[in-house]
Structures are given as C-alpha cells and as structure tokens.
Structure 1
Amino acid sequence: MAEEAPGTQRHYRAPCPGCGAPVEFRSAQSAYAVCGYCHSTVARSGEVLSRIGKMAELFDDHSPLQLMASGRIALAGQDTAFTLVGRLQYKASVGTWTEWSAMLPDGTLAWLGEDNGAYVFSQPQPPHKPLPAASAFTVGKSATINGKPYAIAFNEQVALIAAEGELPKLPPLGQAFAMVELRSADGEVLSLDYGSTPPAASLGRAVRLEDLRLTGLRDESARDEKARQFNCPHCGAPVQVALASTRSITCGSCHSIIDLGSGVGGELRSALQDEPVQPLIPLGSMGLLQGARWQVVGFQHRMGLAPGDDEQFGWTEYLLYNLQRGFAFLVDSQEGWSVVAPTTGAPLVNEARGTAVYQGTVYQQQYAYQAETTYAEGEFYWPVARGQKTSNRDYAAGNKLLSMERTPTEVTWSAGSRIASDAVAQAFKLDDKKDLLKRSDPAPLSAAKGVGCGTIVLVVFVVMVLLILLTTCSTRCDPRYENCAASRTSGGSYGGFSTGGGHK
C-alpha cells in the first residue's frame, strides 16, 4: 500500500516478491531496493515490484553510519536535513569504499561517499554535453567539464560488491565498469560513473563527519574484534587487526608485510622485511594534534631520488587515525615535522612557473623526485609494499605544504602545515625524547627580515658543524636509538597517500 509520509513525498511500501517482507521506498527517485530479510534485489515500476536477483552480503566495514541515520548540511546556502536510505559498496584494485544514498527533504537523492574515514557529500550534476569515453581521461592531465577546469585524479575499473536499502542506481553485481574522478583547485570533486548509459555525474566536496550533526549512528560497542585475528603466514605468530579499513599489516614478531587484499581468512601473502627501522613514536600512541586526538596506527620509512642526483635521501611517515576525521600523516624529515592529509580537490599547476594554486594560496615547487617505500610497520588503509614507488612533487607557501604523489592510475594531493618539534613531543607525551625529536622548527618567513650579520655568521658556523656531524653519523646510525631518516641532505616529502576516487 502507499502511505503518506511527512513532507511532500509519498512513502511506498509493498511486500518483497522474494519473501513477502515489507520493502519501502521513501524517495520517488529510488528505482531499486534490497530486501533487508532475504537480500532480494527489487526493481520498482510504478507500484509494481519485481525480483531481479539476489544481492551479496555486505562486508562489515565497522562504519559509524547506518541506514536511517540523519544529519544536516549546508546546500546552496541553506541548512538542509538528509537521511541515509541506501548503501552501495564498491571495490577497486586498491581497496573498497561505500556510497550512501542520502534523501533530502524534497525527496531528491544525494550521495555521501565514505572511504577510510574520509567523506564527500555530492549531488547529481548533469553534464551540458555528452561525456567522452572513460579512456579519453588520462590521469595527470586536465579536462574541462561544464565550463570548469579539473585535474584528472583517478581512472580505474571498479565493481559493485554489495548493496542495501533503496537506491536510484544499481550496476550489475561484480561487473567491472570505469569510474573517473576529476578534482578542482577550489576543493570540488566531480565523479563520472560509467556503470550506466549515459554515464552519471555527481559533484561534491569533502565534509567532516563531526560537522554533519548526525543522529542515529551505529553503536560502536557492537564491533566484534574476534574475527579480525589470524596467524602470521610467515612465522605463525598471532596478528590482530584493529581497523576495518586495513589493507595491509605487519607482523610484530618477524616484521613481514601481510597483504589483506583477500580479507582476514583469505589467502594471505607475506613479504619478509630485514633491517627494521625503529619509530621514534611507538605504534598505538595517542596524541592531541590540531584539536583532535589521533592514534598512531602505521609507520613507514621512504627514500627519494631526484632526477640527475646520485644521492638518496630518506624520511619517515606516521599514519594517524581519528574516528571523526579519518587518516592523516605526521611526517618527519630534515626540513622538520609536518601534519598533512589527503585533499578532495586538486591544485591548479603551472609547470612553467613551478607553482600550484589551491584554495586561493599560491605554492612554489620545492622538490621533484621518485619515492620508494623501504620499510613499513603497523596497519595501512592501502596495500603497502616494500619497494612501492611513486612520482612526487612538494610545494610550499610559508609553513603551508602541498604534496603530489602519482601512480599510473591515480594522482593524489595532500595538504597541511609544518609544526614545531616541541608540539610533537607534547602531543605524544615524549618529553624524554625531545632531543631525538628536535628538527629545524618552522618560523614565519617574515622572521628573517631583522637578521643581522652576527646572526648569519653564527648560523653558517652551526650549519657547518651539523654537516660534519651528519657525515660522521651517517655511517654508524643506529635506528634503535636515532632518527636515521633525518640524515638526508636534500629533497623531501610532506607525506600522504590515498587509494583514489573522489568518494574517498
């Protein structure tokens, strides 16, 4: 029967053709639904429901979101309510993510993309003219859609693996199709979904879960950790996975990197690592940075090589996790400490001038180099591997930082700022390691204006002494007690890694 619901929409409910349980349609834009009882995939034509197949079981991603959770967001300058009424789970070569169907007060549907604790709220954005084939979009190049320039950040084959609730679209289960993500310099992301004909387009930007004023969230105490334990395939030691988004983890006993691409209980592959590098901030540490409480869940050491240079340099990255804000990176290099996180948008790059403009700020390119992961420890939301390589560029504007990492299928940007080493020590309660954490702390560029000749001579002397010490220590650095990554002389990275897609 059809029932009136609050607002302007008609709330339609009918028996599932598969099991007879009630199936509801709250939005007129919903053409499909997945029965919550028998998982039948149901298509709606007017007031007639037909069963067109059966949906696979959802994988438990331990998301704080669930169906019928509601929140508020600013759309077109208006404070707008929304309710989550459906969910699609997708898989690409580098991971999985979720699209939540969000019903607005007028019955139209938007999308809340969720991946690794990051969220993008988007709405349908019909193109003014037919879109080209997905193969026409080359990662790293630019394209103009609806008169606006975008950088092409992601182009890969993806597949639907599960769904629930009511949905405006439903690509064939398990059938690969192209998805392209384009990002703008003002933080917008345009997603082109080639799972339908013609391709569907949606435009959105990043949002913080804490800003959506959500109610009806999932009870985190119901999370079952028992299914996230297994024995290391290399040495047999017990390994426990703390985060549902983890795609690779290291064994605490033998330091092997374990690929969880097939899930816990699937076929596990391990790669043994020798010469472990000891992190200065222990895994599991909790720290208060930038108004949020972060946990250190991963650590990796990376090496870089600039074109035409025969000397490598190294740095380390700590992967941080916060339930509301997702993931960020605390980066330790000779240039100092910094905190960065993957961006939704993509800066406007001027190759000739070596600049990148992002959200109104002009950044100057500092370094360009090839980066390689040489050691990893902990949990990671992407399939980390020793020897993993990216092409990197680092930009700076005062203490503000931008970093680009490119792979054949994706370009990822991260943004953040430098922080003082004392702030790192204070955040993680490491007063006993202040000397080891000490770096060249950031200072405003204007601070150099009043520097006198005596100060310059002193600085030059100190630099010469430090270079001699670094040269002496480089041959006998003990990673158990020292930060060996800081002994580089040029280049660097401001960190960051994403598995791609604007729904991240």
Structure 2
Amino acid sequence: MAEPGGPGNPGESQRHYRAPCPGCGAPVEFRSAQSTHAVCPYCQSTVVREGEQLSRIGKMAELFDDFSPLQLFAAGRIQGRHFTLVGRLQYAYAEGRWTEWVAQLDGAGQGETPEDRIGTLSEDNGAFVFSLPYALQRTPPEADDLRVGMTTAIDGRPFTVSSNQEVWLHAAQGELSHLPGLGERLRMVELRNDEGLVLSLDYGSAPPTASLGRSVQLADLQLSGLRDASDKEEKGGRNFSCPNCGAPVHVDLESSKSVTCGQCRSIIDLSAGLGAELKFATQDEPVRPLIPLGSKGQFNGSAWQVVGFQHRVGQEPGDDEQFGWSEYLLFNRKKGFCFLVDASDGWSLVAPTTGAPKMAGNANSATYLGKTYHKLYAYNAETTYVAGEFYWQVARGQKSFNRDFGLGKALLSSESTPQELTWSSGDRLDSAAVAQAFGMQAQAARFRRDEVKPFTAAPSLSIGTIIVIVVLILIMLSLLSTCSGSGSGGSYRSSGGSYGGYSSGGSHK
C-alpha cells in the first residue's frame, strides 16, 4: 500500500497553460497537466479544459473565509519532495464545513502515473492530513454497509470506520483534477487504523475512488508563501446582533460554527453563515471558567489561546451518580486545536489523533502506534454548558459514549456517536504547570486537583517501614471484606472525570 510523500526524483517544471476565461476574458492558468477544471479568479466562472480550449460550465459559489495560513501557490516539501498548492475545495455536511487543498507534486516517483502527482492537504479535527491517490485492489463495501465504529479489512489491512457522512461541494478555487457538481450530494467514508493512516472513500463515482494519508505538521512541510497573519487581523473578525437579545456578538475565528452571546449566553449556530437565519439556544446556570476566554498560555514551546469552554457531565452505565469536568478549546494558528481538560482527578492536554487505535475485543485495552493503553473508565457524556467559539456545531445536550485509557502519564480516549468515532491522545499535567502556563501562579491553589499519580515510596522510608505499611493495608482490606458482606455501594469512582475527554466536536473535518 503506497503511502503519501514517498521518495521521488526532482523533475523539471511543467509547462504552464494559460487561456482567456470564456466568461470575462481574464487569464486562467493551468500549472498542472492533470488539472481538467479551474475557477476564474475574477468572475468565478467554472471552466473545463478540453485540449487547448476552455469552456464555461457555470459559476462557482463564493468561498467562505477561514483562519488557515494556507493559500494558493504556497509551496512546501514532504519527505524530500516539492509541492505547490494549486486548488481548493470547500465541502459542507450537516454539522459544518471543511477545506481540501489540491497539491501538485514535482518529479515522478518510481511506477507513478500522472494522477499520482496530485495530492491533498486537508483539514482534520483542527489539524492537517496529507494524502495521495490510492488504487484499490478490490471494490470496497457499499457505503451503507460501513457502520461507524466497525472494523473492516480494505485490501487485507484492518481499518476502523470513523465517519460516514453525506457531503456536498460548497465552493472551489484555482485548478482541480476533478470537480463534483456544485451542491450535488455524495457519500464520503473515512477509515483509520492504529498506524495513524487515514483512508478516504469517495462514493461520488462508481466504483468509489480512494486516497491514503497521514497526519502532518505545517511546520514540518517547510512551507513558503503562507498568508500573512495581519491579513486576518485587519479584518477584525465578524460582528452581528444576537438573534435572541440583540446584543452585539463578535466572532474572531472565521472557521467557527458556533459562538455564545456574552450578554444572554445563548448558543448561536453559525454553520449556515451570517447571511442565513441564525438559530440559537438559551442557557441557564452559567459555569464560570477558571481560565478566562482569550487567555494565552505556553505548552510544549507553543503559544495557545483559549477560544472556547464547555462543561460536561458523565455517568457510568448502571450507576446513578454523575460526575463533571470542563474542557478548554485552545487554538494555535499553525498547530490547529487541542483541548485542556480540567477534571477532579487532574489536568490533561489532549489533541485529536489522526488514526484509530485498535481496541481489544473486551474493550479493556487499546493499542495505538505500538503502545497498549489500559481501560480507566467507560461512561455516557453530555454537554451542559458552552461559552466562546467552536469549530464544530456545539450544543447543550450533545451526547456521546466515551472510553478513557491510560499508560503512565499518557492518555487515550474515544468518543462515539451514531455518525462518528473520534479519538484523542495526550498527557496528564501537573496543576502548578497549568497555572504557570497562563501566568496565574497567584491563583495556583484554585488549580489543584486530586491528581492521580503512580505509587512511589518516599526516599525517607526504610524497607522495614514499607513492609509494615503493606501488612497493615492487607489487614484492613481483610476486615473491610468481612464487614461488607454481600452489599455493593455505588461507583468505584467517587467523582472522577474524563482524562482524555475529547469534545464531541471533532467532526472528521
């Protein structure tokens, strides 16, 4: 199975083709020999290339703006191979939208066809995945047979179905190797595995087409020609009136699908755009975040800003006791999004995984990238309060079934709904480190939690003392067992909280 970014030899630049737009006469340029369609940058006409002639086949919808640093003709390298972004596709689905950038690769790898030189750099849970076309050895199952969460084999390799969505093309820009009909509904299925691979199946054609990719960091792509951050700062976001109370609402992130009103605390749905009717849901009993929205903190050498906050409650199956935790959505322009989780049993910093860990049949463990994590908790989760902005369509009452796994300080969590299965991974954090990251050392006491730590003997204890302690513990356990009889008293977890707690946002794009 070929993987994206394989080695290749540098090749000569292709001859550029330029012709006047049939709609307005402005020049339309094709940099890739594999591009069959293009969108005129002046009149938005959609044109198709037939030999040396261009034909107009319609007009493209306006692009929705975003906060991505990517733009047309940005260039970079992946595993020693140069590429240029020549086109952009913006797709929509019921819960939001996402963007795919068309990447033209230079040179030709061994055994490659011309089509293999067209890659895709796509959004993925606030991060990025670089993919290349993948030639399926056999026809995959029908889309309706690929249920979210199930494991299936594609060309002999096991994958977990992570998303099965009906999508449609919203807008496009630049030159494209293919162009779905604008607004035409089609099915896309994504499958992931424990090696970090993402296999996308596009059922817009028969048989379906496929691409295979893995996660990338923009910093590792050695990108040049990125959009200047000041371009977005000058625009100053978007402003509108709250549809519930009329108070002014400001949106900083152009990619936000939900935002809360600072006056009445209503959740406002932005997924249809500001030109459409804005839907809202009122909220009572606000939960005040410990870390204010807009705060900036340093984690792992990068600056992150708090753009969203949500409080959630969990309940283990068969137990009537609930527990709660909070999640802060953090944003970095080049790294995307991650989550700072505040639970009664400690703080953690997690981010969505690209692949899908392999879970044991009894769900007591999960393996990812060669490491095995052991089950900590399994519970139903529900969102009870939100504030700020979110890149997915968040709402009170959103429910999911979560599983948390641990390996030392490392954490792994799954969150499943009927439409999607998402995973996140990260590490536990010391509460003092969290306070320091946001410059809130003076309030360090408010950050302290009942942090879970592995048992270690204090250096001052002698071996004899440790033996005495162990004996006393065994005696107490024996007495408790005798007293308890046949009674069972509630949950083994008093208040708990999700370690990985990845929010129900995380739509696959």
TM-score (norm 1): 0.88
Contact 1:258 1:269 in 2 (8 A): yes
- Deviations along 1:249-284, one digit per CA (max 9) or x if unpaired, are 111122111111222243112222111111111111
2:140 corresponds, among 131, 138, 141, to 131
1:306 corresponds, among 309, 312, 316, to 316
In structure 2, the residue matched to 1:480 is none
Q: How does 1:419-458 map to 2 (within 5 A)?
A: 419-441=429-451, 443=453, 452=466
In structure 1, the residue matched to 2:84 is 83
2:123 corresponds to 1:122: no
In structure 2, the residue matched to 1:475 is none
CA distance in 1, matches of 2:185, 2:468: 66
2:182 corresponds to 1:181: no
In structure 2, the residue matched to 1:155 is 164
Deviation at 1:497, TM superposition (A): 3.2
CA distance in 1, matches of 2:87, 2:102: 5
Deviation at 1:47, TM superposition (A): 2.2
Deviation at 1:124, TM superposition (A): 0.3
In structure 1, the residue matched to 2:12 is 7
CA distance in 1, matches of 2:204, 2:506: 18
Contact 1:313 1:492 in 2 (8 A): no
CA distance in 2, matches of 1:159, 1:425: 44
Contact 2:415 2:504 in 1 (8 A): no
Deviation at 1:452, TM superposition (A): 2.6
2:202 corresponds to 1:166: no
1:336 corresponds, among 346, 364, 379, to 346
In structure 1, the residue matched to 2:99 is 98
Contact 2:244 2:266 in 1 (8 A): yes
Report which stretch shifted further, 16-25 or 176-185.
16-25
CA distance in 2, matches of 1:454, 1:381: 55
Q: How does 1:340-379 map to 2 (within 5 A)?
A: 340-352=350-362, 354-379=364-389
Contact 2:344 2:497 in 1 (8 A): no
Contact 1:117 1:323 in 2 (8 A): no
CA distance in 2, matches of 1:455, 1:296: 45
CA 352–447 in structure 1, closer or farther in 2 if over 3 Å, else same: farther
CA distance in 1, matches of 2:411, 2:90: 33
CA distance in 1, matches of 2:468, 2:261: 52
User: Between the two proteins, what is the percent identity of the paired residues?
Assistant: 58
Report which stretch shifted further, 6-15 or 312-321.
6-15
RMSD, aligned CA: 2.3
Deviation at 1:225, TM superposition (A): 3.7
Q: How does 1:203-282 map to 2 (within 5 A)?
A: 203-223=212-232, 224-225=234-235, 228-282=238-292
In structure 2, the residue matched to 1:22 is 27
CA 46–498 in structure 1, closer or farther in 2 if over 3 Å, else same: farther
Contact 1:180 1:501 in 2 (8 A): no
In structure 1, the residue matched to 2:425 is 415
Deviation at 1:362, TM superposition (A): 0.2
CA distance in 1, matches of 2:400, 2:369: 25
- Deviations along 1:451-494, one digit per CA (max 9) or x if unpaired, are 9367779999xxxxxxxxxxxxxxxxxxxxxxxxxx95245342
Contact 2:65 2:255 in 1 (8 A): no
CA distance in 2, matches of 1:448, 1:401: 25
2:210 corresponds, among 181, 201, 209, to 201
TM-score (norm 2): 0.87
Deviation at 1:426, TM superposition (A): 0.5
Contact 1:304 1:491 in 2 (8 A): yes
Deviation at 1:198, TM superposition (A): 2.3
Which amino acid in structure 1 is aligned with residue 19 of structure 2?
Answer: A
Question: Helix, strand or coil: the match of 2:16?
Answer: strand
In structure 1, the residue matched to 2:334 is 324
CA 173–454 in structure 1, closer or farther in 2 if over 3 Å, else same: farther
Which amino acid in structure 1 is aligned with residue 291 of structure 2?
Answer: I
Which amino acid in structure 2 is aligned with residue 102 of structure 1?
Answer: A
In structure 2, the residue matched to 1:384 is 394
2:295 corresponds to 1:285: yes
Question: Aligned residues, how many?
Answer: 468
Question: Helix, strand or coil: the match of 2:433?
Answer: helix
Deviation at 1:226, TM superposition (A): 5.2
2:204 corresponds to 1:190: no
CA distance in 2, matches of 1:173, 1:100: 17
Q: What 5-or-longer segments of structure 1 have no aligned partner?
A: 1-5, 461-486
CA distance in 1, matches of 2:255, 2:59: 26
Q: What 5-or-longer segments of structure 2 have no aligned partner?
A: 1-10, 108-113, 475-492
2:410 corresponds, among 400, 411, 418, to 400
CA 445–410 in structure 1, closer or farther in 2 if over 3 Å, else same: farther
Contact 1:419 1:442 in 2 (8 A): no
- Deviations along 1:43-64, one digit per CA (max 9) or x if unpaired, are 1222232222111111111321
2:48 corresponds, among 43, 46, 67, to 43
2:70 corresponds to 1:65: yes
Report which stretch shifted further, 37-46 or 64-73.
37-46
Question: Helix, strand or coil: the match of 1:423?
Answer: helix
- Deviations along 1:384-423, one digit per CA (max 9) or x if unpaired, are 1111111111111111111111111100001101010010
Question: Helix, strand or coil: the match of 2:445?
Answer: helix
CA distance in 2, matches of 1:278, 1:353: 35
CA distance in 1, matches of 2:473, 2:300: 31
Deviation at 1:228, TM superposition (A): 0.7
CA 456–384 in structure 1, closer or farther in 2 if over 3 Å, else same: farther
Contact 1:73 1:80 in 2 (8 A): yes
In structure 1, the residue matched to 2:8 is none
Question: Helix, strand or coil: the match of 1:161?
Answer: strand
CA distance in 2, matches of 1:490, 1:218: 43
In structure 2, the residue matched to 1:494 is 500
